[in-house]
Chain A
Amino acid sequence: MNRIEELFKKKRNILSIYFTAGFPELKDTVPVIKTLAQGGADMIEIGIPFSDPLADGPVIQQSSELALKNGMTLSLLFDQLNDIRKETAVSNTSLLLMGYLNPVLQFGIAGFCEKAKACGIDGVIIPDLPLDVYLQEYKELFQKAGIKVVFLVTPQTSDERIRLIDKHSEGFIYLVSSASTTGVKGQISEEQLAYFARIRAMKLSNPVLIGFGIADKAGFNKACEYAEGAIIGSAFVKVLGQRNGLTENIKKFISPLRQEMPL
């Protein structure tokens, strides 16, 4: 069984962390994954840097720019991830690749699926891959490789379209917490909570993770009241950007998130 499916069967309050591969240093990709897994991240989204990240705010934009400057490419990323499943800490962690469509297209979707599978990747998130194009052109390739393709839902997505996305999603649904690019926006508002509650009431067939603007323990706990878990991105990338004491910083960031939740 795919690790993502297994994870949602066994656990709640799932913590997923996004970071940009090759940031802050080219060689940091694997150490970051290892430290996150050791710290208790259930799922890790490995960002494929892109020159024009349309759905991202300044923090992830800058991390991508730097990663590219460091020399990160998709094929180099696959090289780095080649032995990732040999790391004991990471053997059960769900690993996803997250990135924009163009680098994946240039690599070739078939080759991408093959490489991802060989590295033990469980899923992908490609925000600018439209659902209809996926269904018509690429679904078979991803399915054959056993790679789950995750789609996004936003506050503006109609109920009808949410049902459609639910029907075709595998793994989980990525609930974008507000009409926004990635980045921290302050506390979760009443309006957002009402939206989370609306989605929860739809009783979708896929589990849901809430992402965008989730930055800390309080936000994570709140999100977990409405969904199977949450995704932290920019807030973590900011911490990576501090550079000095990478491992310590990661541990310090993740440990409060993994403390017992108050009832």
Chain B
Amino acid sequence: MSYQVNEKGYYGSFGGAFIPEMLFPNVEDLRSRYLTIMESDDFKKEFNSLLRDYVGRPSPLYYASRLSTHHNKEIYLKREDLNHTGAHKINNTLGQILLAKRLGKKRIIAETGAGQHGVAAATVCALMGLECIVYMGEVDIERQAPNVARMKLLGAKVVPALCGSRTLKDATNEAIRDWINNPVETHYIIGSVVGPHPYPDMVARFQSVISEEIRTQLLSKTGKETPDYVIACVGGGSNAAGAFYHFLDEPSVKLIAVEAAGKGIHSGHSAATMVLGKPGIIHGSKTMLMQTEDGQITEPYSISAGLDYPGVGPVHAHLFETGRATFVSATDEEALAAAYLCCRLEGIIPALESAHALAHLDKLKSAPGEIIVLNLSGRGDKDLATYIKHQNL
């Protein structure tokens, strides 16, 4: 069984490139060139040196002793929260901007939910001196105000998406429409393992540095390269894809993906795509999708803007279908409780997204001595308002 994309751009029956003809030349150009560029020495050299000196990689693998004691488990946190800009998103935007430069692009567009991807895109655009336009749902602009300010400081233009649920899905629609209208000099930096092929594979490759580092770090800490569990939260699925990547073909490593259950899976306010969705097409990709019987995409809900997406990357739909990964979910309340616990026990304020992964520690039935690596995808600076509001309740 292969968990990688095939030559046609599919993971099993998921993936592909369901795009209007207007996008074909750009997507095809990217498809035919991304691997050659990414595998060239010149690219690798620039990417790796910036990952080290600019992003601050490798991010630490930290044995969380108090959290481990609390849960009576062996818990390591992969500290993506310590990256420059505060999340794993920068691994991908850095890779894509170097690629865009080599494709001769002059203008960058991006979508963002929590604003972490928008900030990471704005950051690398500033670094490379490229114009940056970030689409963001009007609702998210309100709930992630600090990140909006950061993007503007970095020189990006933030354009509100005013249609539909005015969150991540709609911001993505607007970015795609921008690309249709600006097909020549623009590169679209998608923020997760979503979108038409080759995006899911390309983004997963850029994020795969996470699991590459986990292997070496774990070896030096425990004498073993592979943990028993890898846990990550899933919005579109990029941090999970990166954390799983180098363990996909190691059946002994149990992969756990945590979706946002919102106010409860069957409350009508949820973003648990694997439970609530069925195969469909969103943003150019065939994947699991929350939709009505009529095929209309439904509005997801989560307290965390970064998990508020009605689809999921096609690689995850495949991992779900094949049973290679286990998909679970955490509610708003469980995520908040796990975040507060992490603050008090470890002195780490996690992003609300990452808090969903932390919330699963309570439910995980691991055997004594089994090693758990949890991908702490980002830090919680952007979520302070939410944390403060709910703590006072």
Q: Which residues of A are in contact with B by a Cβ distance under 8 Å? A: 50-52, 54-55, 57, 61, 65, 68, 73-75, 100-107, 127-130, 133, 151-154, 156-158, 161, 165, 176, 179-181
Tell me the minimal C-beta distance from A127 to chain B in angstroms. 4
Q: Mark B15-37, 1 if CB is under 8 A from A, else 0.
A: 01111111011100000000000
Are B284 and A74 in touch, CB under 8 angstroms? no
- State how many angstroms separate the Cβ of A56 from the closest Cβ of chain B: 8
CA distance A127 to B180 in the complex (A): 13
Whether A51 contacts B21 by the Cβ 8 Å rule is no
Interface string of B173-195 (1 = CB under 8 A from A): 10011001111100000000000
Q: Which of B25, B283, B295 contacts A158 (CB 8 A)?
A: B25
Residues in B lying within 8 Å of A, measured CB to CB = 16-22, 24-26, 163-164, 169, 173, 176-177, 180-184, 280-284, 289, 291, 293-298
Contact of B22 among A74, A154, A165 (CB under 8 A): A154
Query: In whole angstroms, how far apart are the Cα atoms of A140 and B274 in the complex?
Result: 32
How many inter-chain contacts with C-beta < 8 Å in the A-B complex? 105
- Which of A74, A128, A181 is close to B19, meaning CB atoms less than 8 Å apart? A128
Report chain B residues within 8 Å CB of A128: 18-20, 281, 284
Q: What are some 10 contacts across the A-B interface (CB < 8 A)?
A: A51-B296, A52-B169, A54-B177, A65-B163, A102-B291, A105-B280, A105-B295, A127-B20, A180-B180, A181-B180
Distance between Cα atoms of A68 and B165 in the complex (Å):
14
- Contact in complex: B294, A156 (CB < 8 Å): no
Chain B residues near A154: list those with CB within 8 A: 21-22, 24-25, 183
| A contact residues around B183 at 8 Å (CB) | 154, 156, 179
Report the Cα distance A106→B289, complex, angstroms: 11
> Which residues from chain A contact B21 at a C-beta distance below 8 Å?
127, 151-154, 157, 165, 176
In the assembly, what is the distance between CA of A151 and CA of B181, in Å? 19
CA of A101 to CA of B176 in the docked complex: distance in angstroms?
16
Q: Are B280 and A106 in contact (CB under 8 A)?
A: yes
Task: Assess the B25–A51 pair: CB atoms within 8 A.
Answer: no
Cα-based distance from A165 to B20 in the complex (angstroms): 13
